[in-house]
Structure 1
């Protein structure tokens, strides 16, 4: 055996850096660049993939890395159906980790919740849709904003806490110091187009406005007094 043969013998079976896999990463010998024949590298599946075979790579006698695909992407079942609506997925679609679908409602229905859901992973192996699918409701959502008013809470017929059926009427009262801005009833109604009937709300009372302005005027006069007068006022003030 020549010297060249002796020097090359341990090199011929060596492997270079292992291949970069799209579904897994090594967990041992991370900083080495040359590996002898027979070296076994252990791998872990990336998030969104699950283990299906022995998760390792082996350096063979020819200096090649040998392995079988050992991680498979997690899949979800078909997205849930909802009443009075549909999702953007198709029956033949394969829903893998990261896939998403968007829901929409039939005419005259309002979408309540998150419009889109995503295929996620729990326990590293199980595909589930998150968040929960939305619902399609035939009614108005949220309370309208009436300026300077509050709702008569005991007269609000809530359904599902956020949806009001068509025809629902809500009565409001003006806050102290305010009065209705028009002679119309202090009521709003959920209309067929799923919007609330308009209301002009409340406006500040005239007498209350004058009292506020008068108070501000008097405070302003006191602040604008010369310092000498202010000190005289303070020194001449006697508690009865």
Structure 2
């Protein structure tokens, strides 16, 4: 067919396409014997994109599909995708214990199982684990399964101290003991210790140290020297002198007064005399703590009369 200049024809889009926004369905025969055709006259009618919540489901298949013309109809250019819940493998079983998912067949994202131990065993690790996700596709448990172990910590004893809480008689995993020192002693270390999986107390048991007498001077300047001495019955462990350094520390370190197990006396046979008896030991310069001495009677003597003078 031939058309004169200025002739207009109206077009309609094929199934699956539609007239572009702002486009005219008409074409005009121009003076140069061509038609005024817009290259974007008809555009694809559908573009389907899939949006999913990656926190709950995973997408199986392509993320998008386009509606296209196939023969005299339309269809999707790809097989449509589908979404499925993210599964985790069954949680591991543990020796001497069980978990709450024993009867479950499927473990999906967000589900949780809680473990417990048989009588006499302590649970080491997290009691509850959750089904989480890695690489936006696969499910995995939030952590390893715990263990069930027999844990027994030894009786905690602190010399010159006592327990405030945690009185036993047995100590298993997770048990806590709090200590305080006797009067006249100060705590060195943590007052609270916990029985851990390796059958030991963490942190280490504290010690109770005898308190120092209050120093007369509230503060010291660099190069000041302090001399220490212990109360009777205690022996100095360390240097008796220490000096204040420019960085605020004492060098050598402040000594400690420890209870002495020896009594130092002069090298005399008689230690003490009471009335007409004397304590007899040895002629050594020191005596062991709690050693035994012998009390003996002092021989009695008559006082001689004074000499008589001769008168001349």
- Give TM-score scaled by structure 2 length: 0.38
Higher RCO (CA-CA < 8 Å; seq separation 6+): 1
Higher helix share: 1
The structure number with the bigger radius of gyration is 2
- Give TM-score scaled by structure 1 length: 0.47
